[in-house]
């Protein structure tokens, strides 16, 4: 074997790849963006505005592009948001670095080609950027961006339900609305945001931090939602209790008596007489009738009858089973007037067990009262083309706090319903990230407070305002870290603010005598790259871009943060994580300098074919 073909990666290749991705993503970015239709290899048609979905659907071949897609995927599974912004910011950063590296005269002479020198500069810049961002970005955001936003309180949810005619719609709803707007378009965002807020209100654990109940909804989302296709999305709604996505196997008895008692089975009720490996011997049976095969299966049926007698004693009228039961079980259940629901998925059963407080039965000989769940009702529900089982839970200790409910997501087709469901879950994930406390070790905390001291003093220098400085300082101490639930206006406000903050920061650093003189350049680079996001948002009207920029700048100068009622919101913590993730991706991209194309058999089909034949021939021989 010779050396595999080598391809040196140049800066411009990286740039080209990412720009190609950007070209796709901008079609569905921002308020004027549309949908992307794509087909899967199974022929299924999907519609999406979700950046991750689109990028993975491209089935890219270029290793660099795949690396970028992987980074985006990792970021968005973490935050549920920002995949399109990721690509746009990445492309803009790469362009900046490229142009900077190309015109940089201080190229060291140790490199033998211009390309290598450029790549080295770029690598160097990327490293600097990442170092700068991971050290100082969070403080910059905390001091200069967060004061322009506001902190969401978890009580926003309850406020909404207490007074439906609340004129000032809750900030949580606005946050969700803006998210849905970027994901599904403007038409439905009001409706869906309402649904999500209602869902979260119902699922609120009173005494726990918000992130816990968000985590719970996020984890159980597959069991909590029912996609229904063939209906307009406006038919989506919340329903009380849980929907088991199966129909009754035996017809349900519509009885009015409450409560309904149910038992969950994970295994077969009818005992498996002969397990694999067991041997049943059939003897001459005239004398020993009790060992005949008929007796054997008769015993099995009788044991079943005992189980059902036990169930009837416990007053059970619903059986939920994880597996398919035998015909005999169904007949006996019917005779005992017990309805059976078979093949319920594991997720749903575990949620059911959690909500009802009953443990599933594994050994059907040992059914105790603690296995019996008490329900207010258990009835069929018709959702779209399917009939499911709808259960509602009695108020237990936990039930007094949460109102269990499920969500029905309607859409005209399967692809759309899927997309809506994805957007729902990502919205919940985004809220979760917004509220999640950012974990920091003790040393970094102290280091950060020190840093933010420095920055806050800079701020005060700029302000030259001694009257307010005391109070400002106090508030700075409180706000030096990213608080959970921090949000800011959308439409590029974050980018404008951070842009301004970075420029100021760079300026201050260059004035004060710090050792690292590259900081101004680095922060300027990042600042300019950030501007590309609002530029893309207002690509249809550059005038609007300038208007918004002016508005943000005036608000910085006046230290007055007008809270515009109709504007949407976005999460600061998600944005912060986005910037960090992009910078990490940039560094990763520049670390690679060469691609080795190795040859495996799958690349050339004809050769692989002949090899397979010879292999099979060998196998045949060995088997013989």
- Range 225-254, binding another protein (CB under 8 A): 229-233, 254
- 601 interacts with another protein by CB under 8 A: yes
Taking CB under 8 A as the criterion, the residue among 41, 290, 513, 620 binding another protein is 41
Q: Using CA atoms, how far apart are residues 498 and 505, in angstroms rounded to an integer?
A: 10
- Helix residue spans in 357-492 (DSSP H): 414-435, 442-463, 466-478
Binding mask 305-324 vs another protein (x if CB under 8 A, - otherwise)?
A: x-------------------
Interstrand relation of 405-411 and 237-240 (parallel, antiparallel or unpaired): antiparallel
Taking CB under 8 A as the criterion, the residue among 74, 120, 161, 185 binding another protein is 185
Taking CB under 8 A as the criterion, the residue among 3, 385, 400, 565 binding another protein is 385
Shortest reach from residue 447's CB to another protein, in Å = 46
Which stretch, 331-339, 433-441, 487-495, 546-554, contacts another protein (CB under 8 A)?
Answer: 331-339
C-alpha distances out from residue 595 to 7, 84, 120, 221, Å: 5, 27, 17, 41
Binding residues for another protein restricted to 521-560, rule: CB under 8 A:
none
Shortest reach from residue 113's CB to another protein, in Å = 31
- 565 interacts with another protein by CB under 8 A: no
- 169 interacts with another protein by CB under 8 A: no
- 40 interacts with another protein by CB under 8 A: yes
Binding residues for another protein restricted to 64-83, rule: CB under 8 A:
none
Cβ within 8 Å of residue 259, ≥6 positions away: 374, 375, 376, 394
Spatial CA neighbour of 498 closest among 143, 152, 96, 31: 143
Residue 382, SS3 per DSSP? strand
Q: Are 324 and 266 in contact (CB under 8 A)?
A: no
Taking CB under 8 A as the criterion, the residue among 1, 61, 167, 565 binding another protein is 61
C-alpha distances out from residue 169 to 19, 148, 427, 566, 567, Å: 39, 19, 18, 9, 11
Closer residue to another protein (CB): 384 or 399: 384
Q: Residue 371 is inside which H or E element, if any?
A: none
Q: How many C-beta neighbours within 10 Å does residue 442 have?
A: 7
Taking CB under 8 A as the criterion, the residue among 131, 239, 328, 556 binding another protein is 328
Q: What angle do CA 6, 10, 15 make, to 5 degrees?
A: 130
Q: Are 378 and 390 in contact (CB under 8 A)?
A: yes
Closer residue to another protein (CB): 293 or 438: 293
* Largest Cα span, the chain: 110
- 58 interacts with another protein by CB under 8 A: yes
For residues 558-574, b (16+ Cβ closer than 10 Å) or e, as one string? eeeeeeeeeebbbbbbb
Which stretch, 87-95, 163-171, 301-309, 468-476, contacts another protein (CB under 8 A)?
Answer: 301-309
Taking CB under 8 A as the criterion, the residue among 36, 263, 431, 476 binding another protein is 36
Q: Using CA atoms, how far apart are residues 290 and 296, in angstroms rounded to an integer?
A: 8
Q: Using CA atoms, how far apart are residues 333 and 174, in angstroms rounded to an integer?
A: 50
Shortest reach from residue 31's CB to another protein, in Å = 8
Binding residues for another protein restricted to 436-475, rule: CB under 8 A:
none
- 387 interacts with another protein by CB under 8 A: no
- Residues near another protein (CB under 8 A), total: 79
Closer residue to another protein (CB): 3 or 274: 274
Taking CB under 8 A as the criterion, the residue among 5, 99, 187, 613 binding another protein is 187
- 190 interacts with another protein by CB under 8 A: no
Taking CB under 8 A as the criterion, the residue among 284, 363, 397, 566 binding another protein is 284
Q: Are 531 and 497 in contact (CB under 8 A)?
A: no
Closer residue to another protein (CB): 363 or 397: 363
Closer residue to another protein (CB): 112 or 600: 600
Cβ within 8 Å of residue 409, ≥6 positions away: 225, 226, 227, 228, 233, 236, 417, 420, 421, 424
Which stretch, 40-48, 76-84, 350-358, 438-446, contacts another protein (CB under 8 A)?
Answer: 40-48
Shortest reach from residue 119's CB to another protein, in Å = 26
- 507 interacts with another protein by CB under 8 A: no
Binding residues for another protein restricted to 392-431, rule: CB under 8 A:
412-416
Q: Using CA atoms, how far apart are residues 98 and 121, in angstroms rounded to an integer?
A: 9
Taking CB under 8 A as the criterion, the residue among 282, 400, 442, 565 binding another protein is 282
Cβ within 8 Å of residue 201, ≥6 positions away: 157, 158, 160, 161
* Phi/psi-derived region of residue 60, left when phi > 0, alpha when psi is between -120 and 50, beta in every other case: beta
* Phi/psi-derived region of residue 225, left when phi > 0, alpha when psi is between -120 and 50, beta in every other case: beta
**Three-class secondary structure assignment of 518-565:** CHHHHHHHHHHHHHHHHHHHCCCCHHHHHHHHHHHHHHHHHCCCCCCC
Which stretch, 21-29, 79-87, 117-125, 565-573, contacts another protein (CB under 8 A)?
Answer: 21-29
Taking CB under 8 A as the criterion, the residue among 13, 74, 334, 507 binding another protein is 334
Closer residue to another protein (CB): 3 or 276: 276
- 600 interacts with another protein by CB under 8 A: yes
Binding residues for another protein restricted to 603-622, rule: CB under 8 A:
603, 605, 608, 612, 615
Taking CB under 8 A as the criterion, the residue among 313, 441, 602, 606 binding another protein is 602
- 275 interacts with another protein by CB under 8 A: yes
- 357 interacts with another protein by CB under 8 A: no
- 166 interacts with another protein by CB under 8 A: no
Shortest reach from residue 23's CB to another protein, in Å = 8
């Amino acid at each position: 074997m010779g050396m595999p073909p080598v391809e040196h990666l140049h800066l411009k290749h990286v740039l080209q790849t990412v720009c190609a991705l950007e070209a796709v993503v901008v079609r569905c970015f921002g308020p004027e963006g549309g949908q992307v239709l794509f087909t899967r290899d199974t022929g299924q048609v999907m519609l999406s505005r979700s950046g991750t979905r689109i990028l993975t659907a491209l089935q890219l071949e270029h290793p660099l592009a795949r690396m970028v897609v992987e980074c985006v995927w990792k970021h968005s599974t973490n935050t549920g948001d920002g995949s399109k912004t990721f690509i746009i910011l990445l492309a803009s950063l790469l362009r900046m670095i490229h142009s900077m590296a190309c015109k940089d005269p201080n190229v060291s002479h140790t490199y033998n080609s211009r390309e290598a020198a450029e790549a080295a500069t770029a690598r160097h810049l990327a490293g600097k950027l990442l170092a700068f961002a991971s050290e100082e970005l969070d403080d910059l955001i905390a001091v200069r961006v967060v004061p322009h936003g506001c902190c969401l309180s978890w009580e926003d949810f309850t406020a909404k339900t207490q007074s439906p005619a609340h004129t000032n719609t809750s900030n949580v709803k606005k946050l969700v609305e803006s998210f849905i707007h970027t994901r599904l378009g403007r038409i439905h965002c009001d409706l869906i945001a309402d649904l999500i807020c209602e869902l979260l209100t119902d699922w609120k654990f009173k005494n726990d931090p918000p992130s816990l109940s968000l985590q719970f909804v996020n984890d159980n989302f597959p069991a909590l939602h029912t996609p229904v296709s063939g209906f307009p999305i406006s038919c989506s709604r919340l329903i009380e209790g849980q929907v088991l996505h199966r129909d009754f196997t035996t017809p349900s008895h519509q009885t009015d008596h409450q409560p309904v008692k149910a038992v969950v089975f994970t295994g077969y009720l009818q005992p498996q007489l002969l397990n694999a490996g067991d041997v049943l011997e059939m003897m001459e049976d005239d004398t020993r009738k009790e060992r005949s095969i008929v007796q054997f299966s008769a015993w099995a049926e009788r044991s079943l009858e005992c189980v059902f007698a036990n169930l009837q004693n416990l007053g059970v009228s619903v059986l939920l089973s994880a597996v398919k039961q035998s015909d005999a079980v169904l007949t006996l259940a019917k005779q005992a007037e017990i309805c059976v629901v078979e093949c319920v998925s594991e997720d749903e059963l575990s949620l059911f067990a959690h909500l009802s407080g009953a443990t599933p039965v594994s050994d059907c000989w040992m059914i105790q009262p603690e296995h019996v769940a008490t329900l207010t009702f258990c009835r069929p529900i018709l959702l779209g083309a399917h009939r499911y089982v709808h259960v509602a839970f009695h108020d237990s200790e936990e039930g007094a706090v949460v109102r269990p409910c499920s969500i029905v997501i309607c859409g005209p087709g399967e692809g759309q319903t899927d997309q809506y469901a994805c957007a729902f879950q990502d919205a919940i994930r985004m809220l979760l990230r917004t509220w999640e406390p950012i974990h920091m070790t003790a040393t970094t905390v102290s280091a950060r407070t020190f840093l933010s001291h420095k920055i806050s003093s800079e701020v005060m220098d700029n302000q030259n305002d001694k009257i307010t400085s005391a109070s400002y300082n106090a508030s700075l101490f409180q706000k030096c870290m990213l608080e959970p639930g921090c949000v800011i206006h959308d439409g590029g406000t974050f980018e404008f603010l951070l842009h301004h903050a970075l420029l100021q920061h760079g300026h201050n650093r260059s004035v004060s005598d710090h050792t690292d003189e590259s900081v101004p350049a680095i922060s300027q680079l990042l600042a300019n790259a950030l501007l590309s996001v609002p530029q893309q948002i207002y690509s249809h009207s550059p005038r609007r871009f300038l208007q918004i920029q002016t508005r943000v700048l005036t608000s910085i100068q006046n230290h007055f943060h007008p809270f515009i009622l109709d504007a949407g919101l976005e999460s600061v913590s998600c944005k912060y994580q986005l910037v960090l993730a992009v910078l990490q991706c940039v560094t990763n991209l520049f670390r690679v300098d060469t691609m080795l194309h190795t040859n495996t058999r799958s690349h050339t089909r004809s050769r692989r074919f002949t090899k397979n034949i010879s292999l099979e021939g060998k196998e045949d021989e060995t088997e013989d």
